[in-house]
């Protein structure tokens, strides 16, 4: 069995198990999020040895040549010495904070310098020296912590000067509690790592976009870009929004404007328990199309949601996974 050397110590790994799981089982401080190779939170570097090519598939040539790989996609086949990736962080300031729904907040962020990005891409948002206010009760801790989370960009580079991210309040999530309860305008943070699939370029002639409650952020800039272009010609787009309660709907002004502008765009809201059954039927019907047909499912949501609703789908699938 391969031996993995990390931070001066050696651990036994398995070629049948993702390296990330092995490292986490030993309590090692390896960042991670989606576990599917999309968010790149678990990016690492090999110092000695070789990594399986499958653990580098979503990386650019430069990172591959430098020995970077994704721990969640790596099933080691030989001994390796590895280290955490060094990330370049860009200083930024929070310039706006808006509550979109009772459980969703939007943060506007001004980075020190601008950069290019496309709908469907994400950044890592870093908060340093954060007071630990996350224990039960009202007591505050004097210790500090660094929080980080990949966040989809809800802004559109061609039209917005600031970056915008949406953060859902999640049970037992220190990051979401920090974003909702501790952030304020003028606060300094850091961002890094623009990455992810560019969904605008990957639209087909027949597109089904499914969005879980609170996970609309990567789709909004796509609709804005389509509104500003003539690229919708010959493209059918059906947007299905799954929400637990109608109070959780947001972004509907843009959605409805696009529906009026594009005759081949339809939107459907699936609400509550009955809505989940409706979503299953929609996917069952769409999934019966031949795999060779020019149809694509774009699904945005958390891992359990994506697994549940893509098991029986045969069409081409593009994931926008949350963690």
Contact criterion met (CB below 8 Å) for 286 and 209? no
What is the arithmetic mean of pLDDT over 181-194?
91
Q: Which residues contact 27 (CB under 8 A, 6 or more apart)?
A: none
Strands (DSSP E) contained in the chain are 3-6, 9-12, 43-48, 68-70, 80-84, 90-101, 104-111, 122-131, 144-152, 163-168, 188-195, 206-211, 236-243, 265-271, 295-302, 316-322
C-alpha 201: how far from chain center: 18
| List of residues 6+ apart from 308 with CB closer than 8 A | none
pLDDT in the model for residue 288: 56
pLDDT score of 208? 94
Mean pLDDT computed over every residue of the chain: 88
Kindly report the number of other CB atoms within 10 A of residue 227's CB atom. Answer: 15
Q: Which residues pair with 136 in a beta bridge?
A: none
Mean pLDDT of 72-99: 93
Q: Specify the pLDDT at position 145.
A: 53
Report the percent of the chain where pLDDT is more than 70.
91
191-250 tens-digit pLDDT = 987 888 889 988 888 999 999 999 999 999 999 999 887 666 678 999 999 999 999 999
Collapse the DSSP code of 171 into the 3-class scheme (helix H, G, I; strand E, B; otherwise coil) and give the result. coil
Give the domains, in start order, of the chain with CATH numbers: 3-84 (3.10.20.30), 90-195 (2.40.30.10), 206-322 (3.40.50.80)
Residue 37 confidence class, pLDDT cut points 50, 70, 90: confident
pLDDT in tens, 258-313: 999 888 999 999 999 999 999 999 988 875 555 546 889 999 999 899 999 998 78
Query: How far is 177 from 200, CA to CA, in rounded Å?
Result: 32
The pLDDT of residue 135 is above 50: no
> How confident is the model over 139-169, as pLDDT tens digits?
333 334 567 888 999 999 999 999 999 999 9
Report whether 33 contacts 53 (CB < 8 A). no
pLDDT score, position 229: 79
């Amino acid at each position: 069995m391969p031996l993995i050397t990390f931070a001066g110590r050696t651990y036994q790994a398995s070629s049948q198990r993702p390296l990330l799981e092995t490292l986490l089982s030993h309590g090692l401080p390896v960042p991670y999020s989606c576990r599917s190779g999309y968010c790149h939170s678990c990016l690492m570097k090999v110092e000695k040895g070789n990594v399986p090519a499958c653990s580098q598939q979503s990386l650019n040539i430069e990172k591959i040549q430098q020995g970077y790989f994704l721990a969640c996609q790596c099933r080691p086949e030989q001994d390796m010495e590895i280290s955490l990736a060094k990330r370049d962080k860009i200083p930024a300031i929070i310039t706006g904070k808006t509550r979109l729904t009772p459980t969703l907040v939007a943060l506007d962020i001004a980075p020190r310098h601008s950069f290019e990005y496309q709908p469907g891409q994400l950044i890592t948002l870093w908060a340093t020296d954060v007071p630990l206010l996350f224990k039960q009760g009202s007591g505050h801790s004097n210790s500090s912590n660094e929080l980080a989370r990949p966040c989809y960009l809800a802004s559109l580079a061609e039209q917005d000067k600031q970056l915008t991210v949406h953060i859902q309040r999640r049970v037992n999530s220190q990051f979401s509690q920090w974003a909702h309860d501790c952030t304020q305008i003028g606060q300094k943070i850091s961002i890094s790592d623009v990455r992810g699939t560019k969904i605008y370029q990957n639209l087909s002639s027949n597109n089904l976009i499914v969005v879980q409650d609170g996970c609309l952020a990567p789709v909004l800039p796509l609709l804005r870009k389509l509104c500003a272009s003539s690229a919708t010609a010959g493209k059918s787009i059906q947007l299905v929004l799954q929400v637990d309660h109608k109070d959780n709907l947001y972004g509907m002004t843009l959605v409805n404007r696009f529906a009026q502008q594009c005759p081949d765009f339809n939107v459907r809201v699936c609400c509550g328990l009955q809505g989940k059954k409706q979503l299953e039927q929609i996917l069952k019907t769409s999934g019966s199309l031949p795999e060779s047909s020019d149809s694509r499912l774009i699904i945005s949501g958390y891992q359990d949601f994506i697994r549940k609703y893509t098991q029986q789908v045969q069409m081409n699938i593009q994931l926008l996974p949350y963690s």
